[in-house]
Structure 1
Amino acid sequence: MVKLFISGFPLNSTELEIVQLVGPYANVSTIKIVRDKVSKKCKGYAFLEVTDQKEAEAAIDALSGTPLGDRELTLNIVEEKPVKLPAPKRSFGSKPAYNSGSSNYDPQKKKRPRRII
């Protein structure tokens, strides 16, 4: 699977329209149009997964720079970031320096309001 970034399509485009646009060049397995969390409006870019590297490159060659409405399509292959492993746990028993000594200290815990007398 190869992940593609596509931008420059009209903001009212649907997933089906984008798949039909890329479909002649690459077999699209998944698509995710990025939308605003509050208004649910399209932000103008999406991520697609295609099955083959050669198909992805064919779609990029064919569609990059193509005018669509008043915008211009841009396609790029997304570089996969290496997975960061968590830091190893300390096994020699020392406590971190920032520990206040209280084992039940919770910084998220809210304080009760003060009583006014």
Structure 2
Amino acid sequence: MIKIFVGGFPLDFTELDIAMLVGLHGDISTIKIVRDKKTRICKGYAFVEMMSKDGAEKAVEALDGIEVGGRQLNVKIREEKPVAAPRNYSSNTRSSSFSSGSSFEKKKRPRRPI
């Protein structure tokens, strides 16, 4: 499966509208419209997971740059983020506030004379 980015569509678009556009070029697995967390209003872009790379490439070629609802679509294959290498904490030479057993004990500070 391969993901494509679909951006620039009208804010009132639904998953069905995107499926009707993209589905003409290949089988779709999932559609995720990105929405504002508080208002739940569409931000105008989505990620579509296609069943085949061929279908994704056809969708990008056919849809990128076309006008839909007065807005120009931006469609491209989503680049996968590089996977971060696992960290090795045992080789960390920096000191940590958790390195001594007494770090959680409350220490009395000297008081200034009044």
TM-score, normalization by structure 2: 0.80
Runs of at least 4 residues off by over 6 Å: none
In the other structure, the counterpart of 2:95 is: 97
Q: Secondary structure at the match of 1:20?
A: helix
Mark the CA change 1:64 to 1:95 in structure 2 (over 3 Å): closer, same or farther. Answer: closer
- Mapped pair 1:12 → 2:18: no
**What CA RMSD, in Å, does the superposition of the two structures yield over aligned residues?**
2.1
Report the Cα offset of residue 53 of structure 1: 1.1
- Unaligned 5+ residue runs, structure 1? 107-117
Report the Cα offset of residue 81 of structure 1: 1.6
Q: Secondary structure at the match of 1:90?
A: helix
Q: Please tell me the residue identity of whatever aligns with 1:103.
A: G
Mark the CA change 1:105 to 1:11 in structure 2 (over 3 Å): closer, same or farther. Answer: farther
Structure with the higher fraction of residues in helix conformation: 2
- Unaligned 5+ residue runs, structure 2? 105-114
Mark the CA change 1:87 to 1:48 in structure 2 (over 3 Å): closer, same or farther. Answer: same
Q: How many residues align?
A: 104
TM-score, normalization by structure 1: 0.79
Report the Cα offset of residue 54 of structure 1: 1.2
